[in-house]
């Protein structure tokens, strides 16, 4: 009776396809349910072939270390957060299933497991190898999702940073030992993470794990240290520190942004010769400062604590103003550049881009009353463009200004953050379908900007000012400028050169065939741009 009661309690953890009991050796002592599916269904396993056999025999080999580490964590009276694990399927194809588990105080020697198979196409693997840990950028998405989930149900979590001093040098040696170390380390960290996928490889020697508060920082450090010793003796020194958010008085969105900002700081800190404590102390201080700075930045955006100045872009063939660029001046921050970098890193850039566009449209509406209708370029960060909410929000913002929309050009900035060029291009083409021109900013500033120019259809390309200045003295820079111009001519893209300060700059870009110029030679950014430039606009 007691055994039946225990089984009933175990089933209550989740609706499952299979219930198993494992003894201390990991051998199946009881099985109920669709046991044939452990062999892939059809002519797969039977109850007889599962019972009294090791449970790991049915787990895909690539997940053996992961599952072993998972099961070792389940304490008496505790349970395992359900995770996705791959089992052996027909023809050697791994099939995904959700694995849950617990140990009941009434029967501490038995490990109860539930297996729920995932329908095809809904998740899991298919790959034979253990999944690679995501890098910092992809891990941010994981952290954001898990933080939202945990905070919505009041589940406290921690983000633990691990610094493996000597790991980079060890990996450079290569060989099976380094591969085995990475595989074992990945499995151990995944097993201790929230949901089995809350781990990121921030760099060769830095890892981050999001986990429940039941996982102690010291436990992670000791476990990783043991793995390092087993594979690399004393070549790697392991340090671990955790960062938690104060629960009181912090909005969920700000808490998520602050923690992600801390993660980026962890990546950028120079860890050479430093103990992790120094790095984490810096991250903690950054975290403490970030929450109020986010609130300050949000206040700047919502209260329109910035002003717009407009700088002309001129046609070099006749000196007439073609259009203006709206440039922001932010109050309360040391510089506009610092403010922009901060709101990009904390996920507020889309709100700011929309606020600048709204302020620009309001300005154009005032000017239209006196029948002055200049065209204005408004910056849109590639980070904003990458969000699913961007176009719906943009359409909503533009709707009341239907008559002014053709006066807006969109200037795409920070293109190094574009991950999916095809998706970015689709969104920009929708803007162009409204009748808006699109300009690619800072072309030539890096290889990715040039890649962006080739992958996204635009009307204008703005040459980075450093490329203009460098072409005066560097033959290599001149060749780069020449190649950009050749591509733009072939693609029928008009070119704007920025930072034109004097006649020499203008003569240089003219010699390359640049059609438009921007810089102090033609006029500084002006808040009262109609009074300064209204007579020269066409």
- Domains (range + CATH), the chain: 2-117 (3.30.450.20), 136-296 (3.30.70.270), 304-536 (3.20.20.450)
Quote the CA–CA distance of 55 and 27 in Å, as a whole number.
Answer: 6
State the DSSP H helix or E strand holding residue 180, giving kind and residue range, or none if neither. Answer: helix 175-191
Please tell me what DSSP assigns to residue 370.
Answer: T
Residue 189: helix, strand or coil by DSSP? helix
Rounded to 5 degrees, φ, ψ at 93 are: -80, 125
Is pLDDT larger for residue 524 or for residue 249? 524
Residue 500 scores a pLDDT above 90:
yes
Number of residues that make up the chain: 538
What is the average per-residue pLDDT within 178-197? Answer: 87
For residues 434 and 464, the answer to whether their CB atoms sit within 8 Å is no
Of the candidates 370, 365, 442, 439, the residue with the CA atom closest to the CA atom of residue 407: 365
- Tens-place pLDDT, residues 232-242: 888 898 888 88
Question: ∠ at Cα 342 (339, 347), nearest 5°?
Answer: 120
Is pLDDT larger for residue 292 or for residue 60? 60
Quote the CA–CA distance of 34 and 464 in Å, as a whole number.
Answer: 63
Residue 440 scores a pLDDT above 90:
yes
Quote the CA–CA distance of 42 and 34 in Å, as a whole number.
Answer: 11
Name the percent of the chain in helix, strand, coil, to the closest 5: 50, 20, 30
- Tens-place pLDDT, residues 89-148: 776 778 888 898 889 888 888 999 989 887 654 444 445 556 688 888 788 888 878 877
Residue 185: helix, strand or coil by DSSP? helix
Residue 441 scores a pLDDT above 80:
yes
Quote the CA–CA distance of 264 and 276 in Å, as a whole number.
Answer: 15
Residue 268 tokens read as 């950028």
| Sign, Cα dihedral of 245, 249, 252, 258 | negative
Question: ∠ at Cα 14 (11, 16), nearest 5°?
Answer: 75
User: Residue 78 has what pLDDT?
Assistant: 80
| Candidate ranges 138-142, 154-158, 277-281; pick with highest mean pLDDT | 138-142
User: Residue 153 has what pLDDT?
Assistant: 73
pTM of the model: 0.62
Query: CA-based diameter of the chain, in Å?
Result: 95
522: alpha, beta or left? (left if phi > 0; alpha if psi -120 to 50)? alpha
Quote the CA–CA distance of 126 and 91 in Å, as a whole number.
Answer: 12
Res. 230 pLDDT band, cuts 50 70 90? confident
Tokens 């450090």 map to which residue?
A: 221
Quote the CA–CA distance of 503 and 480 in Å, as a whole number.
Answer: 22
Res. 212 pLDDT band, cuts 50 70 90? confident
Of the candidates 223, 146, 241, 237, the residue with the CA atom closest to the CA atom of residue 187: 223
Rounded to 5 degrees, φ, ψ at 242 are: -115, 150
User: Residue 187 has what pLDDT?
Assistant: 87
| Start-end of H helices in 131-275 | 136-152, 167-173, 175-191, 217-232, 252-268
What is the average per-residue pLDDT within 349-365? Answer: 95
User: Residue 287 has what pLDDT?
Assistant: 61
For residues 361 and 404, the answer to whether their CB atoms sit within 8 Å is yes
Residue 96, exposed/middle/buried by CB under 10 A (0-12, 13-18, 19+)?
buried
State the DSSP H helix or E strand holding residue 349, giving kind and residue range, or none if neither. Answer: helix 349-369
What is the average per-residue pLDDT within 25-29? Answer: 92
């Amino acid at each position: 009776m007691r055994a039946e009661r225990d089984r009933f309690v175990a089933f209550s953890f989740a609706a499952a396809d299979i219930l198993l009991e494992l003894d201390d050796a990991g051998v199946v002592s009881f099985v109920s349910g669709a046991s044939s599916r452990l062999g892939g269904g059809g002519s797969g396993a039977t109850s007889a072939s599962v019972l009294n056999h090791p449970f790991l025999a049915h787990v895909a080999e690539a997940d053996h270390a992961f599952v072993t580490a998972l099961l070792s964590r389940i304490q008496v009276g505790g349970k395992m957060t359900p995770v996705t694990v791959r089992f052996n399927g027909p023809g050697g194809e791994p099939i995904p299933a959700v694995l849950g588990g617990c140990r009941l105080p009434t029967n501490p020697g038995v490990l109860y497991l539930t297996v729920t198979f995932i329908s095809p196409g809904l998740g899991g693997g298919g790959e034979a190898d253990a999944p690679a840990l995501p890098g910092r950028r992809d891990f941010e998405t994981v952290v954001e999702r898990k933080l939202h989930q945990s905070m919505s149900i009041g589940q406290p979590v921690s983000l633990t940073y691990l610094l493996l001093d000597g790991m980079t040098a060890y990996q450079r040696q290569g060989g099976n030992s380094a591969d085995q170390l990475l595989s074992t380390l990945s499995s151990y960290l995944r097993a201790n993470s929230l949901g089995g996928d809350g781990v990121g490889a921030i760099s060769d020697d830095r890892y981050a794990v999001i986990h429940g508060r039941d996982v102690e920082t010291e436990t992670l450090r000791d476990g990783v240290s043991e793995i390092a010793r087993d594979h690399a003796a004393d070549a790697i020194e392991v340090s671990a520190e955790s960062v938690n958010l104060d629960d009181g008085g912090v909005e969920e969105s700000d808490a998520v942004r602050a923690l992600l900002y801390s993660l980026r700081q962890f990546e950028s800190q120079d860890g050479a010769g430093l103990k992790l404590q120094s790095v984490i102390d810096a991250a903690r201080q950054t975290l403490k400062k970030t929450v109020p700075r986010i609130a300050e930045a949000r206040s700047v955006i919502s209260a329109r604590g910035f002003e717009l100045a407009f700088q002309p872009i001129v046609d070099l063939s006749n000196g007439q103003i073609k259009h203006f660029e709206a440039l922001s001046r932010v109050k309360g921050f040391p510089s506009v550049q610092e403010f922009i970098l901060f709101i990009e890193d904390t996920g507020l850039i889309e709100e700011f881009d929309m606020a600048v566009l709204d302020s620009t449209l309001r300005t154009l509406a005032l000017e239209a009353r006196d029948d002055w209708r200049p065209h204005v370029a408004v910056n849109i960060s590639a980070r904003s463009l990458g969000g699913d909410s961007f176009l719906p929000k943009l359409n909503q913002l533009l709707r009341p200004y239907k008559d002014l929309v053709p006066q807006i050009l969109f200037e795409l900035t920070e293109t190094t953050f574009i991950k999916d060029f095809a998706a970015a291009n689709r969104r920009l083409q929708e803007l162009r379908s409204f009748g808006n021109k699109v300009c690619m900013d800072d072309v030539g500033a890096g290889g990715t900007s040039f890649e962006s120019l080739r992958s996204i259809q635009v009307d204008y390309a703005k040459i980075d000012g450093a490329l203009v200045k460098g072409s005066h003295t560097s033959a290599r820079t001149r060749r780069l400028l020449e190649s950009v111009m050749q591509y733009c001519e072939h693609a029928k893209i008009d070119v704007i050169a920025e930072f034109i300060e004097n006649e020499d700059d203008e003569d240089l870009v003219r010699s390359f065939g640049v059609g438009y110029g921007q810089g102090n030679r033609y006029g500084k950014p002006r808040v009262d741009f109609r009074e300064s430039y209204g007579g020269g606009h066409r």
